[in-house]
Structure 1
Amino acid sequence: MKKTIYITLITILTTVYAKAQEINWVTLEQAVELQKNEPKKIMMDVFTSWCGPCKMLDKNTFHNKDVATYVNKHYYAVKFNAEGNDEVNFKGKKFSNPNYNPALANRRNSAHELSRYFQVQAYPTIVFLDEKGELIAPIKGYQSPAQLELYLKMFNKDDHKKITTQEEFSTYYKAFKSEFKS
């Protein structure tokens, strides 16, 4: 009996701990709809199924407890397959992947129109949108939790609006103190 209670307790704690580290992913359409009632910025993970750094970003960064907690509190998080076949309605326009080849579903495929719209040129890219769905910036490449923290906090606090030169960004970058644990 004690063993059963112990196993049940461990299972519950493990589940709660795992859930605490998960980002609440939604579609872009859902994020835009959610913005109407509670304005937040959008963080969109633009990935492909074949991309190794995309998988590392998901495993090492998006499953980091500090990242997940911060993103869930301050952003609507969207996962978007940059070479997928989904139709997406955004800003009154329908985006698709007319050259999508189902035979290449797990290999390199044609780029989705939405990827081009958001200026995605490499995978992974994290696209940040403001509360009105306007592009703030695409951040390309793998980001560790500490690297992503800089952008999450800078965009959330609108500090990027005060930075107009590379020199100002460099000063901001050097002064930034990471609080996320790796």
Structure 2
Amino acid sequence: MNNKFSTQKLRFLIFFIPAVVLVSSFNQPPAKAKLKWMTLAEAQTAMKTNPKPLLIDLYTDWCGWCKVMDKNTYSNEKVITYVEDKFYPVKLDAETKDSLNWNGRVFKYNKQYRINEIAIYFTGGDLSFPTTIFVNDKTADPQNIAGYMKPSELEPIAKYFGEGKFGKQSFESFQQNFKSEW
């Protein structure tokens, strides 16, 4: 009788465990899409052969809203598709201790202010995190938008720059005819 119980128990485990594993594998949420971020150096190299504007995500490791924007905005499939098509997306840690080159100039970490000088350059000294920065080309002044943005808030701004309207049409005029798709 003890052997019969062990055999039944073994059969049960042999069929039950694989069934549970199989069923639970179907319940896994699909992996979230991720934006393919570039370094500033990679983007500069790419701009030489295929000119596109930059979208720079200026962040810090301690910034809570930066993490929320990564999770809610930069993981949105429509944002990813549009940004990767129209921009070189650059993720830039404002506190990096690495020396960074931009437009023939070297930017270094400033120990006194605990910030990389490039963050000051790109924001005009108005440091806030997260900040989304648009740079049309290496000679253009960076245009920055401070603060967290949902996909629906980023869309008109990204499309204003991505469609080449910046400098040709006011943002207010662009918004009047803008139709949200995200």
Structure 1 position 81, deviation (Å): 0.8
Structure 1 position 132, deviation (Å): 3.2
Alignment: residue pair count: 163
State the distance in 2 between where 1:35 and 1:8 align.
42
State the distance in 1 between where 2:95 and 2:49 align.
31
Q: Which of 117, 123, 128 in structure 1 is aligned with 2:121?
A: 117
Q: Determine what percentage of the aligned residue pairs are the same residue.
A: 33
Structure 1 position 41, deviation (Å): 0.8
Structure 1 position 175, deviation (Å): 3.3
Structure 1 position 170, deviation (Å): 3.2
Structure 1 position 120, deviation (Å): 5.2
Q: Does 1:153 align with 2:153?
A: no
Deviations 1:7-51 (A, max 9, x none): 88888x935xx3xx2111111111010011111111000001111
Q: Unpaired runs of 5+ in structure 2?
A: 1-17
The residue that corresponds to 1:178 in the other structure is 180
TM-score (norm 2): 0.78
Deviations 1:125-168 (A, max 9, x none): 111111335334111111110111111110011212133xxxx5
Q: Which of 132, 142, 147 in structure 1 is aligned with 2:138?
A: 132
State the distance in 1 between where 2:76 and 2:65 align.
16
SS of 1:132 mapped into structure 2: coil
CA contact (8 A) 2:160 2:171 kept: no
Structure 1 position 169, deviation (Å): 3.1
Structure 1 position 52, deviation (Å): 1.3
Label 1:40 to 1:6 Cα distance change in 2 as closer, same or farther (>3 A).
Answer: farther
Where does 1:1-182 land on structure 2 (aligned, <5 Å)?
14-15=30-31, 18=32, 21-99=33-111, 110-118=114-122, 119=124, 121=126, 122-132=128-138, 134-163=140-169, 168-180=170-182
TM-score (norm 1): 0.78
CA contact (8 A) 1:127 1:135 kept: no
CA contact (8 A) 1:23 1:72 kept: yes
Q: Unpaired runs of 5+ in structure 1?
A: 101-108
Label 1:9 to 1:132 Cα distance change in 2 as closer, same or farther (>3 A).
Answer: farther
